[in-house]
């Protein structure tokens, strides 16, 4: 036997449930570190609030005070009424009144106005005769979202104005021609669609970055050497690093949805518990992906870059920015591989349509699968040595 026997240890060692105790040790450590990191801690709250207010208010796709011009080729009461009605909507602000076609074209071309209305000669007479003349509308379509929304609202606004202000024959029939209608979103409230999408987008961004930096930070600070020399397994490190941020993600989701409900009046038609449950799944999937990134990269800069590489397609291809169905097939395939795509469907369906688990089976399974794939890669990629 050994030359000298070591004295019995003063403190007893647990033999059972080692997995849970080691994960717990890691988790406590991560919590303390997060608590000490004041800036990160503040960002947990600041980021969603700021983003939501930006998207909700500033980046409002509903047109508002669009600089507009009118080409007036006939100075009639009807023309004045239409212009007045348009201005009253607050969508348009007529800052130019021109009588020459070239001036009109130049205003649009130079970007001084985004919108132009042309009232042709003999317009009023044609309306009264029932000839259905065209009210010509030109929009600067370089910002398609603003233009199309404004165009969409135009027809309805004009019709309303005519009904109230005019003394013409039979109001129900459209006295002139404007094609665009905003039939399915009469109020054109973009926050209704954006808030649910934002829950997913903000969570993707913050969760990804939190864990993407976690392992590389340990390597860069030199603490990984100690950690690896201790009897902790890759799965335990991963659990310990992911669980604190599940709570963080939960706080963020709660914040965003609360602001959405109370400030923007977004409804939550579905089950809140189901929403919380599936949000947890989504948060964990993102944390697992972030963690996978952190096991692949060499330093924190690379971790940030790689997170962005994942984040951008998430925003563009998930249906958050552009309608999913409108994308080409290959983009849809890529989109299906992103957790955000599935979560945006889930969260929009629950909040706006009151969907149940039955409706969301496919997206839930997809999220779970993506999470498991990421975790498996992370655990196998995690280097147990310094080689």
Partner 1 sequence: MSGGNGIAIDVKGLSKSFGGREVVHDLSMQVKRGSIYGFLGPNGSGKTTTIRILCGLLTPDSGEGTCLGYDILRDAEKIKRQVGYMTQRFSLYQDLSVRENLEFVARLYGLRDARGAARDMIKRIGLSGREEQLAGELSGGWKQRLALGACTLPNPQLLLLDEPTAGVDPKARRDFWNEIHALAADGLTVLVSTHYMDEAERCHEIAYIAYGHLLAHGTVDEVIAKSALTTYTVTGEDLNSLTAQLTGKPGIDMVAPFGTSLHVSGRDVAALESSIAPWREKASLHWQKSAPSLEDVFIELMGRSKDNFQ
List interacting residues with partner 1 (CB under 8 A). Answer: 1-7, 9-15, 18, 21-22, 24-26, 28-29, 32-33, 36-37, 221-226, 228-232, 384-387
Q: How far apart are CA 48 and CA 204, in angstroms?
A: 11
Residue among 9 and 328 whose Cβ is closer to partner 1: 9
Element (H, E) at 69: strand 66-72
Q: How far is the CB of 45 from partner 1 (least distance, A)?
A: 20
Q: For residues 28 and 276, which CB has a smaller minimum distance to partner 1 in the complex?
A: 28
Pairing of strands 92-98, 66-72: parallel
Q: Which of 242, 248, 235 is nearest to 214 (CA)?
A: 242
Nearest approach in angstroms of CB 29 to partner 1 is: 5
Instruction: Provide the minimum distance between the beta carbon of 58 and partner 1 in the complex, in angstroms, as a whole number.
Output: 36
Q: Is 340 exposed, middle or buried (0-12, 13-18, 19+ CB in 10 A)?
A: buried
For residues 79 and 99, the answer to whether their CB atoms sit within 8 Å is no
276 and 259 in contact (C-beta within 8 Å)? no
Bridge partner list, 69: 96, 116
Smallest gap from residue 31 Cβ to partner 1 (A): 10
Give the residue carrying structure tokens 């009210």: 135
> Cβ closer to partner 1: 140 or 236?
236
Please say which residue, 34 or 156, places its beta carbon nearer to partner 1. Answer: 34
Task: Assign 71 to helix, strand or coil.
Answer: strand
Name the minimum Å distance from CB 43 to partner 1.
16
Nearest residue to 85 (alpha-carbon basis) of 152, 161, 159, 153: 161
Residues in Cβ contact with 164 at an 8 Å cutoff, skipping those fewer than 6 apart: 85
Q: Which residues contact 151 (CB under 8 A, 6 or more apart)?
A: 137, 139, 180
CB closer to partner 1 out of 187 and 386: 386
Is 374:289 a contact under the CB 8 Å cutoff?
Answer: yes
Quick one: 229 or 358, whose CB is closer to partner 1? 229
Closer of 194 and 213 to partner 1 (Cβ): 213
Tokens read off for 211? 């864990």
In the complex, what is the shortest distance from the CB of residue 7 to partner 1, in angstroms, rounded to a whole number?
6
Cβ proximity to partner 1: between 11 and 183 the closer is 11
Decide if 196 contacts 260 (C-beta within 8 A). Answer: yes
In angstroms, the first-to-last Cα distance of the chain is 34
CB atoms < 10 A from the CB of 182, how many? 18
Q: What minimum distance in Å lies between the beta carbon of 283 and partner 1? A: 24
């Amino acid at each position: 036997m050994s030359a000298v026997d070591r004295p019995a240890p003063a403190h007893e060692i647990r033999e059972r449930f080692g997995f849970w105790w080691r994960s717990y040790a890691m988790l406590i450590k991560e919590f303390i570190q997060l608590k000490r990191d004041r800036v990160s801690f503040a960002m947990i709250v600041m980021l969603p609030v700021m983003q939501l207010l930006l998207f909700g208010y500033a980046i409002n796709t509903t047109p508002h005070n669009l600089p507009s011009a009118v080409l007036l080729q006939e100075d009639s009461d009807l023309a004045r009424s239409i212009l007045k009605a348009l201005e009253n909507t607050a969508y348009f602000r007529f800052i130019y009144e021109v009588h020459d076609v070239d001036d009109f074209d130049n205003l649009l071309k130079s970007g001084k106005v985004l919108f132009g209305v042309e009232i042709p000669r003999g317009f009023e007479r044609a309306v009264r005769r029932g000839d259905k003349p065209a009210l010509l509308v030109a929009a600067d379509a370089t910002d398609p979202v603003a233009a199309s929304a404004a165009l969409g609202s135009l027809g309805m606004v004009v019709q309303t104005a005519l009904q109230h202000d005019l003394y013409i024959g039979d109001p129900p029939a459209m006295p002139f021609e404007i094609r665009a209608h905003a039939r399915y979103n009469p109020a054109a409230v973009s926050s209704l669609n954006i808030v649910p999408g934002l829950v997913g987008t903000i969570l993707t961004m913050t969760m990804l970055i939190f864990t993407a930096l976690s392992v590389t930070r340990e390597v860069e600070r030199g603490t990984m050497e100690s950690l690896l020399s201790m009897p902790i397994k890759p799965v335990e490190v991963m659990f310990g690093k992911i669980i604190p941020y599940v709570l963080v993600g939960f706080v963020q989701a709660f914040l965003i949805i609360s602001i959405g409900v109370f400030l923007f009046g977004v409804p939550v038609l579905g089950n809140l518990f189901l929403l919380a449950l599936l949000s947890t799944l989504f948060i964990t999937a993102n944390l697992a992906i972030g963690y996978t990134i952190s096991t692949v990269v060499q330093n924190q800069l690379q971790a940030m870059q790689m997170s962005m590489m994942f984040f951008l397609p998430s925003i563009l291809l998930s249906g958050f920015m552009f309608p999913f169905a409108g994308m080409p097939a290959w983009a849809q395939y890529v989109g299906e591989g992103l957790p955000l795509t599935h979560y945006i469907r889930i969260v929009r369906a629950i909040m706006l349509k009151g969907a149940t688990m039955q409706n969301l089976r496919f997206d839930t399974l997809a999220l779970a699968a993506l999470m498991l794939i990421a975790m498996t890669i992370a655990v196998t990629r995690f280097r147990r040595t310094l080689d």
